[in-house]
Chains A and B, each alone.
Chain A
Amino acid sequence: MLTTKVDLRGVPCPLNLVKVKLAIEKTAVGDILEIEIDDGEPIQNLPVSLGRQGQEIVETIKCQGYFRLKVRRRL
Chain B
Amino acid sequence: MSLTEEQIQRYSRNIILEQVGGAGQEKLLASKVLIVGVGGLGSPAALYLAAAGVGTIGLLDGDQVDLTNLQRQIIHHTADVGKRKVVSAKEKIEAVNPDVAVRTYDVWARADSIRDIIREYDFVIDATDNFPAKFLINDVCHFERIPFSHGGILQFEGQLMTIIPGRTACYRCLFPGPPPANAVAPCGQAGVLGVLPGVIGLLQATEAIKYLLGMGGLLTDSLLTYCALTMEFRKVPAQRRADCPLCGPNATITTLRDEGKVVCNRKGCKC
Contacts and interface: CB of A to CB of B under 8 A. Distances in A.
Interface of A: 14-15, 17-19, 21-22, 25, 53
Given A14-B12, A15-B12, A22 B18 contact: no
A18 B18 contact: no
B214 to A, nearest CB: 16
Interface of chain B, main secondary structure: helix
B16 A25 contact: no
A18 B23 CA distance: 12
Interface residues of B, number: 10
Contacts of A19: 8
Contacts of A53: 18
A17 B16 contact: yes
A25 to B, nearest CB: 5
B15 interface: yes
Shortest 10 CB-CB contacts between residues of A and residues of B: A18-B12, A22-B22, A25-B22, A18-B15, A18-B16, A25-B21, A18-B8, A25-B23, A21-B15, A15-B12
16 contacts: A14-B16, A15-B8, A18-B9, A18-B12, A18-B15, A19-B8, A21-B15, A21-B21, A21-B22, A22-B3, A22-B8, A22-B21, A22-B22, A25-B21, A25-B22, A53-B18
Interface in B1-59: 3, 8-9, 12, 15-16, 18, 21-23
Contacts of A25: 21-23
Contacts of B16: 14, 17-18, 21
A19 B9 CA distance: 9
A14 B15 CA distance: 12
Nearest to B25: A22
Centre residue among B9, B16, B18, B21 by max chain A CB count within 10 A: B16
B149 to A, nearest CB: 29
Nearest to A22: B22
Contacts of B8: 15, 18-19, 22
B9 A15 contact: yes
B25 to A, nearest CB: 9
B18 to A, nearest CB: 7
A9 B9 CA distance: 16
Contacts of A15: 8-9, 12
B9 A22 contact: no
A15 B9 CA distance: 7
A59 B15 CA distance: 26
Nearest to B24: A25
A17 B12 CA distance: 9
Given A17-B16, A21-B22, A22-B3, 8 more contacts: A15-B8, A15-B9, A15-B12, A19-B8, A21-B15, A22-B21, A22-B22, A25-B21
Interface string B158-194: 0000000000000000000000000000000000000
Contacts of A21: 15-16, 21-22
A19 B12 CA distance: 9
B223 to A, nearest CB: 36
Nearest to B14: A18
Nearest to B17: A21
Contacts of A18: 8-9, 12, 15-16
